[in-house]
Amino acid sequence: MISLIDTLSWVCLAAGGLFAAIGGLGLLRMPDFFTRMHAASLIDTMGAGLILLGLLLQAGFGLVAMKLLMLAGLIFLSSPTSTHALAKAALAKGIEPLLAKREDRSSKP
């Protein structure tokens, strides 16, 4: 049973690290602010979530597990709030999302 928990924990830790690496690569490779913000949210939700789950499985029940659960709650409450605030501030500043090429709308009937 313990080897199953250890294996599941390491799978979660490895998958969380993989998601964090992919999100970090996305921060470097994405073309504009809004797609980079999306890559950063991938790190927060999947990367940190799986890493915390793997650590929670390793910690067992106790004070450390409660601290990890409080940290997960803080991340999952503050991340969407900060992402929303950043997006609204960028839109208010005049930064537009990079979408498909805009066609001349005046030529259409």
The total number of structural domains in the chain stands at: 1
Q: The pTM is what?
A: 0.76
Q: What is the per-residue pLDDT for 99?
A: 72
Q: Is the pLDDT of residue 67 over 80?
A: yes
Domain annotation covers residue 107? no
108 found inside a domain: no
pLDDT at residue 71 tops 90: yes
104 assigned to some structural domain: no
Range of the domain at 59: 2-92
Give a yes or no: residue 78 inside a domain. yes
Per-residue model confidence as pLDDT tens digits over 76-104: 888 888 888 998 999 899 888 887 565 55
Listed in sequence order, the residues at least 6 apart from 107 whose beta carbon sits closer than 8 Å to its beta carbon are none
For the cut 90, the answer to whether the pLDDT of residue 13 exceeds it is yes
**Average of per-residue pLDDT across 41-63:** 89
The half-sphere exposure of 37 on its side-chain side, counting CA atoms within 13 A, is 17
